[in-house]
Amino acid sequence: MFTQQNRKSRQLLASGIKSTYDDELYPTRLNFYREPPPLEISIEEFEQFALDRMQVLQALLTAQMRNLTPEQLDKAVGEAIKKYMPMSPNTKGSSATHRQLMEERRKDHISHFILRLAYSRSQELRSWFLRAECALFRYRFEKEMLKDQLEFLEKQNLSWKKVSDEDKRLLREKLKASSFKAGNIDEETYFEVDFERVAGLVGRRQVYIQAGKAFVRLSDQVVLVLDEFKERLSHALEVTGRALPRMDEDDRLMPVLNNINKQYLGREFTTSAIAGEIQAGDVDSLKVHMPLCMEHLHDELRREKHTRHGGRMQYGLFLKGIGLSLEQALLFWQMAFEKLTPDQFNKQYAYNVRHSYGMEGKRTDYTPYSCKSIIMNNAPGPGDHHGCPFRHFSAPNLRAQLAAHNVDEFDTDDIIHKVQQRHYQIACTRYYEVTRAKMVGISAENVKGGLSDSTAGMIASQEVIEHPNQFFEQSYLLMKSKNGETGDGTSSAAGAGAAGGMDGLIASAPLDATVRGRYTYKKAGASISSNVQHDIDM
C-alpha cells in the first residue's frame, strides 16, 4: 500500500473524498471523471491498472488507424477490452455481480486518473491522451443502451436548448436535407447549440445551421457529449500538468509514471542517428523500392523540375527516413529544382529543408509521414502530386499506374476492388506483394501461400503496409536476402533497372546496417498491436 509517506501524491490523486464506492459513485459504465478516485490503492495495482488501460487505448487507436469496417473494429477493440479492462453493463441478465460491476468501474476510474498524471507532463503527451480517452469514451457511449445513455446525461446537468415543435415544423425540409440519416423529423428531438460546439458535424455538413446556430439531432448527441468530455478533460489535464512539479519529489510514483508514458506513443519511423549514408545521386536508383506514392512524387519531380509544398514534405521526409542526410537533401532538392538559381533556391526552399531536419526554428526533428497521415491529412489539391495513389487517384489513373508497373489485369481488379472498399493500405500491401514477387521471380500465389521458400515467406510474412518507409525497407531487405541467396548479387528475374540499382546498394554495408537497425526498432514497437493484425481481411 502506498500510504503515509505519499500523502502529497495521494492528494493529487484523491482529494478528500468519501471512502466507499457505491451505486451513487458509478451508476453507469460511463464516467466523466469529474472527481478523483476515493480510495487508497497499492503500488502494484497502480502500475497494473495503468498498463491495462494503456492496452485498451492503444488497441482502440490502432484499430481506428487501419480503415477497418465497424465490425472488424468492434471485434479488435472488444477483445482488448475483454482481456484488459472488462466493463459490464447494468443489464439485469449480466452475469457480473454488483460487486464485480463496481470493481470494474473502480479500476476504470483509477486507471484514468493514473494515466492523467502520467500524460500531463507535456503538450504532446496531453494531446495523445486526450485523443485516446475521447475515442474510448465515444466507443463506450455508442455501445451503451439508450436508457443508460439518458440516465447518464441526466446526471450531468448539461444545458442544451430543445428546439420547439413549431420551429421544427418550419425547418422540416432543411433539417431533412441536412442529414441522410434523419428519420421522422416530428418524432426526433433536436437541440439548438452554437455551431462551434459541433465542429465535426459542421465540417461534414451533417447538421443544419442557421445564423450561427446548429440544429443537432438527439441521435447525434454523442458529438455534444464528447465535446463536453473533451473540453473538461483538456482543462483538467492542463491543471494537472501545472500541479505536477509538486510530485517530482515522490521517488516511488514518478518512475512508474514516466515509464508508462514512455512506452506507447504509437509507432513512428524515426531516422537513426547514423542516417546520412545515402547520397543525393543514389535516389534515382532506389526508386525501385519505393511505394507508389513516393515513386509518383519522384517521377513528377523529375518531370516538372518542381514539387509543391505538400509533395516536398511527404517526399522529403520519406527520403530523410531512408537515410538522406541534410547536406545530401539540400543537394538533392537543389539539383531537382534545376530551373532555379542557387540564390532563388536558398531563399525559397533551403530553409524548409533544414527545418524538416530539425535544424531551424523550433528544431523539431520531423519524422516521415505514415500511411494514415498521408491518407487522412492534407488531401492533395489542384496541382499537387502528394497523397496516397490508392486513396487520391481516380480509378483510370490508378489502373494506368498499375499497368505501368506490370501489374496484370487480374491483380489490378483485385487492387481496385480493395480501393473501392476503402482498404487503401491493404490495396498497397497487395501491390507490394504482386510487384515484389515479380522482382524476385516467384508467383504471387506462392507469396500468399507462404511457401517454405524463404523469399516467398519473407514477402508473405510482412504486415499490412502502414508506412511508406516500411514498404521501402521491406522491399530493400527482400531484395538483399534474395540476392544473398543466389549468391551473385543479381536477381535473374528482377527487371534490368532494378537489378542494376541493386548491385551498387548491396555493396553498401553501412546503409544496410542503418536499415536493419531501424527495422528492428519498428518490429519491437509493433508487438503490442499484433492481436489486431490478423483481423484484417487479406
Partner 1 sequence: MSDMDIDHDPSEAQATVEAGQPENQAEKDELEHLFDMDDDSEFMKEVNNPWMPSSKPSGLSSNADDIAGDIHQQLMLYYRHFFPFKPFFQWLNYDPSAKPSKSFLNREICWTLMDDTFIRFQSYRNIDELKQDMVRLNPAKFDLGAIYNIRPKDRHMVRPAAFIPVSKEMVFDIDMTDYDEIRTCCSGADVCKKCWEFMTVAMKIIDVAMRDDFGFKHILWVYSGRRGIHCWIADERARKLNNEQRKAIVSYMEVIKGGTQQGKKVKLPNVLHPSLARSYETVDHHFRNIAFESQEILTKPENWEKMLSVIPDEDVQAQIRRQWESAPTRAPALKWNELKDIIGEEIAEHPGKRQLLENIPRDIMFQYTYPRLDDKVSININHLLKSPFCIHPKTGRVCVPIQIEHCEDFDPMSPPTVPKLVQELNEYDTTHPSPSEGEAKLQDWQKTSLREHVEYFEKFLKGLSREIREKKRVDGASSKSLDF
Q: What one-letter code names the amino acid at 411?
A: D
Question: How many Å apart are CA 290 and CA 307, to the nearest integer?
Answer: 17
Cβ pair 505, 519 in contact under 8 A:
no
Q: Is 339 in the site for partner 1 (CB under 8 A)?
A: yes
- Which of 17, 43, 145, 199: binder of partner 1 (CB under 8 A)? 199
Q: What is the 3-state secondary structure (H, E, C) of 106-166?
A: HHHHHHHHHHHHHCCCCHHHHHHHHHHHHHHHHHHHHHCCHHHHHHHHHHHCCCCEECCHH
Across the beta sheet with 161-162, what order do the strands follow? 161-162, 190-194, 213-217, 208-210
Number of Cβ atoms within 10 Å of the Cβ of 195: 17
Q: What is residue 211's DSSP assignment? A: T
371 assigned binding-site residue: yes
Piece of 74-82, 218-226, 281-289, 374-382 that binds partner 1 (CB under 8 A): 374-382
- Closer of 153 and 388 to partner 1 (Cβ): 388
Q: Is 184 in the site for partner 1 (CB under 8 A)?
A: no
Q: Is 349 in the site for partner 1 (CB under 8 A)?
A: yes
Question: How many Å apart are CA 484 and CA 482, to the nearest integer?
Answer: 5
The DSSP element (H or E) to which 200 belongs, if any, is: helix 199-203
- Closer of 28 and 206 to partner 1 (Cβ): 206
Please give the biggest Cα pair distance in the chain: 82
- Which of 75, 287, 308, 422: binder of partner 1 (CB under 8 A)? 308
- Which of 39, 209, 222, 477: binder of partner 1 (CB under 8 A)? 209
- Which of 373, 490, 508, 531: binder of partner 1 (CB under 8 A)? 373
- Which of 138, 168, 213, 232: binder of partner 1 (CB under 8 A)? 213
Q: Is 202 in the site for partner 1 (CB under 8 A)?
A: yes
388 assigned binding-site residue: yes
User: Which residue's C-alpha cell is 533551403?
Assistant: 350
Query: In sequence order, what are the residues at sequence separation of 6 or more whose Cβ sits closer than 8 angstroms to the Cβ of residue 300?
Result: 307, 311, 385
- Which of 4, 19, 187, 211: binder of partner 1 (CB under 8 A)? 211
Residues in 504-523 at the binding interface with partner 1, rule: CB under 8 A? none
- Which of 16, 70, 93, 203: binder of partner 1 (CB under 8 A)? 203
Question: How many Å apart are CA 180 and CA 357, to the nearest integer?
Answer: 46
Residues in 383-442 at the binding interface with partner 1, rule: CB under 8 A? 383-387, 389, 392-397
C-alpha cell, 305: 523540375
293 assigned binding-site residue: yes
Q: Is 138 in the site for partner 1 (CB under 8 A)?
A: no
Q: How far is the CB of 184 from partner 1 (least distance, A)?
A: 16
Q: How far is the CB of 375 from partner 1 (least distance, A)?
A: 12
Q: Is 348 in the site for partner 1 (CB under 8 A)?
A: yes
Residues 418, 421, 424, 427, Cα dihedral to 10°: -10
- Which of 16, 245, 382, 487: binder of partner 1 (CB under 8 A)? 382
Piece of 35-43, 136-144, 359-367, 428-436 that binds partner 1 (CB under 8 A): 359-367
End-to-end CA, the chain:
48
- List Cα–Cα distances, 163 to 209, 218, 300, 505, in angstroms: 13, 11, 53, 68
The site for partner 1, by CB under 8 A, has a size of 65
134 assigned binding-site residue: no
- Which of 15, 100, 210, 421: binder of partner 1 (CB under 8 A)? 210
Residues flagged as binding site for [4Fe-4S] cluster: 293, 371, 388, 428
Give me the residues that bind partner 1 (CB under 8 A), please: 123, 127, 131, 173-174, 177-178, 180, 195-196, 199-200, 202-205, 208-213, 296, 306, 308-309, 313, 339-340, 344, 346-349, 351-352, 355-356, 360-364, 366, 369, 373, 376-387, 389, 392-397
